[in-house]
Copies of this chain bind each other. A is one copy, B any other.
Amino acid sequence: MKSAILTVGTELLFGQISNSNSVYLSQQLNNLGIDVLYHYTVGDNPKRLTKMICKAFADCDLVITTGGLGPTQDDLTKESAAKVFNDELIIHQDILNELESYSKRMNVTMTDNNRKQAYLPSRAFRFDNESGTAPGFSLEENGKTIICLPGPPREMTQMFEQEVKPYLLKKTDDVIYYKLIRTFGIGESMLETELKQWIDVQTDPTLATYAKEGEAYLRIASKRSTLEEAKSAVDDMIQNINQKIGQYIYSYDGEDLFEVVAKKLIEKNISISSAESCTGGLFGKTLTDVSGISAVYNRGFITYSNQAKMEELGVKAETLEKFGAVSEETAVEMTEGLKRVSGSRLCISVTGISGPEGGTEEKPVGLVYICASLDDKRVCKEFRIRNISRSWNRNYTLLCMLDMVNRLIDQN
């Protein structure tokens, strides 16, 4: 199946937001074995939008749109799609009822704008919106299918995952099976070099490497007539790959490192506390992104000032004076203090220079010390992170922390 992604929204043409919907949908469609031939973006202009939908169908069977389904006047995707598919908008009483009960529940007055969301093309197959009010839908005619999804990424991805994916799966013949391997500590070039012998001769399964924010991904995909065949081809390849780069792999299922770590902590019932300086709460925030973490996450300290390091964690004034706040000695005292105060089995602390200011020749931006202990075992490491930006440096520091925790748990 050949497809095009059509994102609608003047804000995209102003460059006010990045087009994350096209990225997400491209990945998803490719994973389903559906070729993506084009991306189109058009503003909130019904004439251009209608023309664009027609154009997109010139050499594609499937067009997925995002945006323009909302309640305001410039939301006109439904009208345009109906026009191209020779249909008209009618009010859907069930949607109207839901909108009304929603307004009642939220104690807000329903405006005419809101009511507009109850209109869909008469032949539309509806996709529910779990996290918003605008439903999505599909329309089919003469072997052509349009799928219209809401613009807000959260609503769109949830709708795609829960409703559109099963709908599309019914339309394809071959089965695609893939694994997304995630690694930390090896760059994309090195990953590619290590796996060259398979990448160079790949037909099926295919191997593709991606780099993202200090991590390297590896996608192994097989397209066969049965799931068993595809699965076995992918699993064989994973065995080969494991022998080469197994030590860098933390997930075979595309999970984030923080999810892997949180899951292990909960499963093994290891209590954890954190003390953060340069990351300012990022570690705590990330771990508590995971629901259920309250069973093991006890507390965190954001000891941003030296005063806080001394008062909350008992870091000695002499240590701060002699070695500085960004030093192995301070990191170790932070972790020891945290252990005393929290009583958690796993304690991790971090201190570093995130920049862009604050670096010196001796202690440049990107210098980070991480100290973690699990029961009686303690590790402290110095990192010299490539200084890209404050936000990148902090995110990479987070990954180093999670990686250290992950390895400590595995060695336990």
User: A residues bordering B, Cβ < 8 Å?
Assistant: 7, 10-20, 22-28, 30, 36-44, 48, 52, 55, 59, 70-74, 106, 111, 113-114, 131, 152, 154, 180, 188-190, 192-193, 199, 208-213, 217, 219, 274, 276, 279-285, 287-289, 291-292, 294, 297-305, 307-308, 311-312, 341-342, 354-357, 386, 388-392, 394
Q: Which of B188, B312, B341 lies in contact with A70, CB distance below 8 A?
A: B188
A27 and B180 alpha carbons, distance in the complex (Å): 32
Instruction: Tell me whether B37 and A26 are in contact (CB under 8 A).
Output: no
Q: Which listed residue (B14, B73, B192) contacts A26, Cβ 8 A? A: B14
What is the total number of copies of this protein in its complex?
Answer: 2
A156 to chain B, nearest CB (A): 13
**Measured CA separation A12–B72 after assembly (Å):** 31
- A385 CB, nearest partner CB in chain B, Å: 11
12 pairs, CB–CB < 8 Å, chain A vs chain B: A16-B208, A70-B188, A72-B188, A113-B192, A131-B392, A276-B281, A284-B285, A284-B302, A294-B304, A298-B307, A298-B308, A299-B303
A304 to chain B, nearest CB (A): 5
Closest to A388 in B: B131
Residue among A25, A36, A41, A394 facing the most chain B CB atoms (10 A cut-off): A41
Are B41 and A13 in contact (CB-based, < 8 A)? no
CA distance in complex: A180, B26 (Å): 30
Chain B's nearest CB lies how many Å from the CB of A111? 6
Bound Cα distance A14, B39 (Å): 11
Q: Which B residues are CB-close (under 8 A) to A188?
A: 70-72
Task: Check B30 against A15 for contact (C-beta < 8 Å).
Answer: yes
A334 to chain B, nearest CB (A): 13
Which 3 pairs between the two chains have the least Cβ-Cβ distance? Answer: A280-B288, A281-B284, A281-B281
Taking a contact as CB atoms under 8 Å apart, the answer to whether A180 and B40 are in contact is no
Judge whether A304 and B312 touch: CB under 8 Å. Answer: no
Bound Cα distance A98, B111 (Å): 65
Q: How far is the CB of A273 from chain B (nearest CB, A)?
A: 8
